[in-house]
Structure 1
Amino acid sequence: MADRNLLRVVAVAGVIAVVAAGCSKSDNKKTGSGNTSGGAVKIGTLLPVTGSLAFLGPPEVAGVKLAIKDINSAGGVNGKDVTLTEGDSGDTSTNIASQTVGRELNDGVSAIVGAASSAVSLKVIDKITTAGVIQISPANTSDKLTTYPDKGLYFRTAPPDLLQAQALSELILADGGQKLAILALDDPYGTGLAANTEKDFTAGGGKVVKKIIYDPQATSFRTEVAQIKASAPDAVAVIGFDESAKILQTMNEQTIGPKNGTKVYGVDGNMGNALGEKFKTTPGALKGMKGTTPLTKLSDDFKTRVKAVDPKLVDFNYAGESYDA
């Protein structure tokens, strides 16, 4: 992967070039709310500083900042620097994303990087694209966004759930799983990935013995976990975000968790060092747990450079995809 950083710079330069083209028409016609003043190219972020995906925020923000640093070091866009307006996406339980988008559009951004959550993007995509501004997400995977009427202004650098579902199903089947229970959060990401996983797992010869779509804002998951246990699965897939830690704790308490020897699988919404941090006082709580993440392999050099942007990083999830975006 020696050429990884070069490939990333090319990818970013390509996206920025699209923005620049919209800002350099001879008649200086304004494209939506984009910056067309001939000064710096303004880019906004709509990434999770708060909410159920906040653990993904630091590597994503760091990836964007590193990309802008590299672009400006290489001469910027048409000789102009790229500037960054940072913004929080929150999650679907708040109106933070819409407020952030409104502020950044008023600030004259030409493109917005985000959101991480597919559900959040679906809440603001019309507002962004109607303004004639590009939206590009580093982490959206919902199939709903594949054919969304986005005026040709929405892009993403992460693959759709169709691919992760295949990988997850193949992993479980390869481990000998034949009776799968699925716990998935109730949003476009969760329901879409759960449906595709059920389809692929069944096609591979397995059987989904229980599928539960849960409210991620619930204060307890005891009932859902009890139903999963009653279905007697030999494997459990947990498709969720930050609330997955509470679900896994409950699974261990009801003797159907990783600690108890159950084959438990996570996904990109919950797998990473951030999850491990929540169980650092309970050794063995996640023992044997596996999962899938649709992430690009990162070179050691890239990791070093992105960590220089944010020395506190504990995960690199979607840092590369954010750099590309």
Structure 2
Amino acid sequence: MKSKFAGNRLRHMLMTTALIAAFATASAPAFADVVKIGLLAPITGPAAADGQEFQRGVQMAIDEANAAGGVAGNTFELVVGDVKDQSAGNVTSAVERLLGDPGVQFMLTGYASLTNFEIDNMAEAEMPYMLAATSQQTRDIIAPSPDKYMCCWSLTPSFDAYNTDVTLFVEKLAADGKITLPTKKVAIISSDNAYSKTISEGMKKTFKEKGWTISVDEIVPFGEVTDWRSILAKVRENVPDVVINTDYLPGNSASFLNQFLEQPTKSLVFLQYAPSVPEFVELTGKKSNGVIYNLLGGALTTPKNPRADEVAAKFKAKYGVESGTYGVGLYEMTNVYFDAVKKVGGASDHAAIMKALSETDKQVAEGRLKFDPATHLATQGDDYIPITFFQIWDGQRTLISPEKYATGAFKPQPWMQ
């Protein structure tokens, strides 16, 4: 039985074919070679800053391809489905609208639903799809039957390193004499969403296994949070060596930092993802100095990976602002699709496009991109897509780990001195 998505697509295609046959003349459609690329993005809502990055990254890649004459006889057009607050209803509505457009031959996102349920929609509709979302959920969907999901491939590698490597990073800083850990206590604050909770639960497990005490364990409702003071009061009552907040929304993370600095403790502060978004520094200014965050799939702007600097420079020249993680990421994902179109010789054979996507092995801004056939995630590791730690100073992000790619060294956070 065909899914409703596949059925809708077929009906649209038949109607389009009939119309073309009925009206075919010497002045046949001038844009028959235009392929639509469907983007799922939070254009409105609390994650709109990321949505804008998604759109800019894809548009930059499309503009370059079209200016060069297209790919395999095709030029490209971007169509956007706004997932708004990422609720199931809004994501489903955006997915249905894009899948119902017969011109859409490929879809992508940074993240759409956070649980990534739309992967099943793409499989049913036989739609090539790339995402850079929560990899645990991607793996949980695909790994039991990878051949069923040849549609879908993730720029993001396994999140396992998010769960383990903050602990390893902190303990290495202590072993190198750069910080002290007098109590081995850690405060972990999270937001009630699949991304933040998965990471915070993994972190708690690793810290406990390493002999740490969780002094504060708090979770806030997903959405806008403007007042963190009651949680921070608990932090100050039982001062930890490390304070972690995994809420990924830049506005929330900025509010947390600003309120922490009203009465800071001598704790190393780690904030998940949000500081990578340019909006975070705009909201915190000089207060962001010293903040640490990490990325899986972040651009490696280092002499050992000139591709990242090249793409970042093009993004800034086009839009007048620095790219966060997703501007560069969606640009590279779009170009992976263009590689597949070139290899296949066109965009309409979705099965061939999916196979070409699966065979990707290339240097991108994030490292060497090669997919794990068992999970369809990007391969993780220092020789592929590494986990990278950054520190902010004067609005600039310095890559401080791993040493193989580092462009600078850790410096003590101002409130720790």
Q: Answer yes or no: same fold by TM over 0.5.
A: yes
Matches within 5 A, 1:132-143: 132-138=126-132, 140-143=133-136
Matched with 1:67 is 61
Aligned: 1:172 with 2:170: yes
Matched with 1:158 is 156
Matches within 5 A, 1:235-250: 235-240=242-247, 241-242=249-250, 243-250=252-259
Matched with 1:290 is 292
Q: Aligned with 1:210: secondary structure? A: strand
Q: Distance in 1 between matches of 2:226 and 2:131?
A: 30
Which of 290, 300, 303 lines up with 2:309 in the alignment?
300
Which of 194, 202, 207 lines up with 2:208 in the alignment?
202
> CA-to-partner distance for each residue in 1:22-78, whole Å, 9 max, x for gaps?
xxxxxxxx8973897773322111122222322223333222122223333455343
Which has the larger strand fraction?
2
Q: Distance in 2 between matches of 1:227 and 1:92?
A: 31
Q: Distance in 2 between matches of 1:318 and 1:202?
A: 32
Q: Percent identity?
A: 23
CA gap of 1:172–1:204, structure 2 versus 1, over 3 A, is same
Contact 1:113/1:137, CA 8 A, preserved across alignment: yes
Once the 2 structures are TM-superposed, how far is the Cα of residue 290 of structure 1 from its aligned partner? Answer: 1.0
Matched with 2:268 is 263
Q: Which amino acid aligns with 1:44?
A: G
Q: Aligned with 2:325: secondary structure? A: coil
Once the 2 structures are TM-superposed, how far is the Cα of residue 187 of structure 1 from its aligned partner? Answer: 0.9
What stretches of structure 2 of length at least 5 have no aligned partner? 1-5, 18-31, 175-180, 302-307, 334-417
Matches within 5 A, 1:51-200: 51-92=45-86, 95-108=89-102, 109-116=104-111, 119=114, 121-122=116-117, 124-138=118-132, 140-149=133-142, 151-152=148-149, 153-176=151-174, 177=181, 178-200=184-206
Once the 2 structures are TM-superposed, how far is the Cα of residue 222 of structure 1 from its aligned partner? Answer: 2.7
Q: Distance in 2 between matches of 1:225 and 1:125?
A: 38
Which of 206, 227, 246 lines up with 2:234 in the alignment?
227
Structure-1-length-normalised TM-score: 0.76
Once the 2 structures are TM-superposed, how far is the Cα of residue 289 of structure 1 from its aligned partner? Answer: 1.7
Q: Which amino acid aligns with 2:278?
A: N
Once the 2 structures are TM-superposed, how far is the Cα of residue 82 of structure 1 from its aligned partner? Answer: 2.3
Q: Aligned with 2:288: secondary structure? A: coil
Contact 1:118/1:141, CA 8 A, preserved across alignment: no
Q: Aligned with 2:269: secondary structure? A: strand
Contact 1:180/1:233, CA 8 A, preserved across alignment: yes
CA gap of 1:264–1:118, structure 2 versus 1, over 3 A, is farther
Matches within 5 A, 1:266-281: 266-280=271-285
Q: Which amino acid aligns with 1:33?
A: R
Choose between structure 1 and 2 for higher RCO, CA contacts under 8 A separated by at least 6 residues. 1
Contact 1:186/1:214, CA 8 A, preserved across alignment: yes
Aligned: 1:315 with 2:313: no
Q: Distance in 1 between matches of 2:315 and 2:288?
A: 28
Q: Distance in 2 between matches of 1:32 and 1:43?
A: 18
**How much is the aligned-residue C-alpha RMSD, in angstroms?**
2.9
Once the 2 structures are TM-superposed, how far is the Cα of residue 95 of structure 1 from its aligned partner? Answer: 4.2
Once the 2 structures are TM-superposed, how far is the Cα of residue 277 of structure 1 from its aligned partner? Answer: 0.7
Matched with 2:373 is none
CA gap of 1:110–1:262, structure 2 versus 1, over 3 A, is same
Q: Distance in 1 between matches of 2:60 and 2:111?
A: 18
CA gap of 1:45–1:120, structure 2 versus 1, over 3 A, is farther
> CA-to-partner distance for each residue in 1:169-192, whole Å, 9 max, x for gaps?
222223335321111111110111
Q: Distance in 1 between matches of 2:8 and 2:34?
A: 17
Once the 2 structures are TM-superposed, how far is the Cα of residue 100 of structure 1 from its aligned partner? Answer: 2.1
Q: Aligned with 2:328: secondary structure? A: helix
Contact 1:41/1:83, CA 8 A, preserved across alignment: yes
Q: Aligned with 1:245: secondary structure? A: helix
Contact 1:168/1:291, CA 8 A, preserved across alignment: no
Q: How many residues align?
A: 286
CA gap of 1:31–1:71, structure 2 versus 1, over 3 A, is farther
- The structure with the largest alpha-carbon Rg is 2
Q: Which amino acid aligns with 1:159?
A: P
Q: Distance in 2 between matches of 1:55 and 1:173?
A: 33
Matched with 2:363 is none
What stretches of structure 1 of length at least 5 have no aligned partner? 1-29
Q: Which amino acid aligns with 1:302?
A: V
Matches within 5 A, 1:22-33: 33=9
